[in-house]
Amino acid sequence: MTENTAPYPSHRKTLKLIKLQEQLTGYLFILPALIIILIFGIFPIGYSIYMSLFNWQVTKGPFIGDKNYLLIFGSWWNLLVLVAGLGLMFLGSMVWGKAFQTLSRGRRLANIAGALVLVLGGVIFVTGWGMMFRTGNKDFLNSLIVTVYYALGTVPAEIILGLVLAYILYQDIVGKEVFRMIYFLPYITPSISTAVVFQIIFSSRETSLANRLIGLFGIDPLKWRFEPKPVLKLLGFKVNGLAGGPSLALLTIIIFGIWSFVGYNTVIFLSGLGNIPKEIYEAAEIDGGSKWDRFWHITIPMISPVTFYLTLIGFIGTFKAFNHIYVMRTPSAQNTVITTSLLVFDRFYKANQYGVATAQAIVLFAVILGLTLAQNKIMGERVFYG
């Protein structure tokens, strides 16, 4: 470097000051958002963890450490066994999935190994859950099962119905804009008011709309929101408790959840369908592909990012659902409609057990985070981004 092109020390200092000013400017731009996240996001979570370590009932009590968490799990060993089972199940599913992606001679061996690890993980998980259910908080653990029933009953149905409706509305039909608005209305209507309407529809009276509808098929009136018996038991199967699936009371809430969110999924799927190049469909049609072939081999893969997104936020939303469940639950349904979010609310506002409620909320947060990471790992690899 010549004498004319070499930067002087004063120039170096100037460049450093310019870079420092640029960095400070960037930090100043993100500072408002950072403050909002810290105040309304990080601080409440941190303070909840702090509260969960005390015997906090209206006023702050003595420090009790992990006792509120031990009330949930029974012992840390129970939780360790449960998590180990989940880890093995996740590992087995990953090995199994990788085996199907290869054509090597070790594929059969990998399939067997993955299946064995998956079964072993399931056995360990069930063992840990049984230990936890015997010595832990049965109400909280039962609420997790009810929440899982609610999630599995709503999210898949919302995804499938939303996709079907979006595919129909994407076609060149008369009045499709009006139908789009009609399907989206339940999502933007206040959930409290619509839940009250569903209370009337699924009343236990013989004159209720739901009982009149099933009466057309010769079915006797049902209690609907007031029925704690499992649906399978009502269908004639000899099952009791949680093994019979969701109760009829929970099923009515599931129907409400599906009705509320199908329209939202439909609109999001429509935007995804609009981004698929029409040339791909035209090429498939020229090659002799039927409508079903085009739907299955083009539409489904091309909108997989949308499906992944809706599935992810759907499960997160069901685990946090509160308003409509709170309105539609009845004492007659007992604990078959008490999801974890409702249980935490009851512990906090009705029982005034602030420490116990915050501990349960932290565990629920950990469950949602774990499910989100698992979905992101398992489903994210199967998403086609073009």
Q: Please give the pLDDT value at position 288.
A: 81
The answer on 370 and 226 residing in a single domain is yes
The answer on 297 and 174 residing in a single domain is yes
What total of structural domains would you count in the chain? 3
Q: What is the CATH number of the domain that holds 340?
A: 1.10.3720.10
pLDDT in tens, 343-355: 999 998 888 889 9
Q: Please give the pLDDT value at position 342.
A: 94
* Distance of alpha carbon 308 from alpha carbon 319, whole angstroms: 17
| Distance, C-alpha 305 to centroid of its chain | 16
Contact by Cβ (8 Å): 229, 316: no
In DSSP notation, 302-348 reads: HTHHHHHHHHHHHHHHHHH--HHHHHH--GGGGGGG--HHHHHHIII
Q: Please tell me the pTM assigned to this model.
A: 0.87
- Of residues 105 and 149, the one with the higher pLDDT is 149
Residue 13 lies in a domain: yes
* Distance of alpha carbon 47 from alpha carbon 365, whole angstroms: 14
Contact by Cβ (8 Å): 336, 247: yes
The answer on 130 and 274 residing in a single domain is no
The answer on 225 and 193 residing in a single domain is yes
Cβ-based neighbour number of residue 162 at 10 Å: 26
Pick from 83, 101, 135: which residue ends a domain?
135
The answer on 251 and 204 residing in a single domain is yes
For the purposes of burial, counting CB atoms within 10 Å of the CB of 301, is it exposed (0-12), middle (13-18) or buried (19 or more)? middle
- Of residues 172 and 5, the one with the higher pLDDT is 172
- At residue 3, what are phi and psi to the nearest 5 degrees? -65, -30
* Distance of alpha carbon 174 from alpha carbon 339, whole angstroms: 42
Residue 65 lies in a domain: no
**Percentage of residues in the chain with pLDDT exceeding 90?**
42
Q: Please give the pLDDT value at position 1.
A: 44
Residue 191 lies in a domain: yes
Pick from 112, 135, 158: which residue ends a domain?
135
* Distance of alpha carbon 152 from alpha carbon 377, whole angstroms: 19
Torsion angle defined by CA atoms of residues 76, 366, 348 and 58, in that order, rounded to the nearest 10 degrees? 70
Instruction: Identify the three-state secondary structure at position 214.
Output: helix
User: Which range, of 61-75, 92-106, 241-255, 344-358, averages the lowest pLDDT?
Assistant: 92-106
- Of residues 1 and 342, the one with the higher pLDDT is 342
The answer on 318 and 188 residing in a single domain is yes
| Distance, C-alpha 367 to centroid of its chain | 10
Q: Please give the pLDDT value at position 97.
A: 65
The answer on 353 and 211 residing in a single domain is yes
The answer on 80 and 45 residing in a single domain is no
The answer on 208 and 130 residing in a single domain is no
Residue 58 lies in a domain: no
pLDDT in tens, 272-281: 888 888 888 8
Pick from 83, 116, 135: which residue ends a domain?
135
**Percentage of residues in the chain with pLDDT exceeding 70?**
92
Residue 15 lies in a domain: yes
Residue 386 lies in a domain: no
Q: How confident is the model over 107-125, as a mean pLDDT?
A: 80
The answer on 346 and 198 residing in a single domain is yes
Residue 113 lies in a domain: yes
Is the pLDDT at 104 greater than 60? The verdict is no
The answer on 268 and 144 residing in a single domain is yes
Query: Which of 32-41, 179-188, 230-239 has maximum average pLDDT?
Result: 32-41
Cβ-based neighbour number of residue 64 at 10 Å: 15
* Distance of alpha carbon 274 from alpha carbon 235, whole angstroms: 42
* Distance of alpha carbon 258 from alpha carbon 250, whole angstroms: 12
Q: Which DSSP state fits 352?
A: -
Query: Which residue has 């909002």 as its token pair?
Result: 36
Q: How confident is the model over 97-110, as a mean pLDDT?
A: 59
| Distance, C-alpha 42 to centroid of its chain | 21
Q: How confident is the model over 82-97, as a mean pLDDT?
A: 83
Contact by Cβ (8 Å): 79, 124: no
Q: Please give the pLDDT value at position 386.
A: 63
Mean pLDDT (the chain) is 86
Q: How confident is the model over 59-63, as a mean pLDDT?
A: 88
The answer on 121 and 142 residing in a single domain is no
Q: Please give the pLDDT value at position 383.
A: 80
Residue 57 lies in a domain: no
> Domain of 310?
137-380
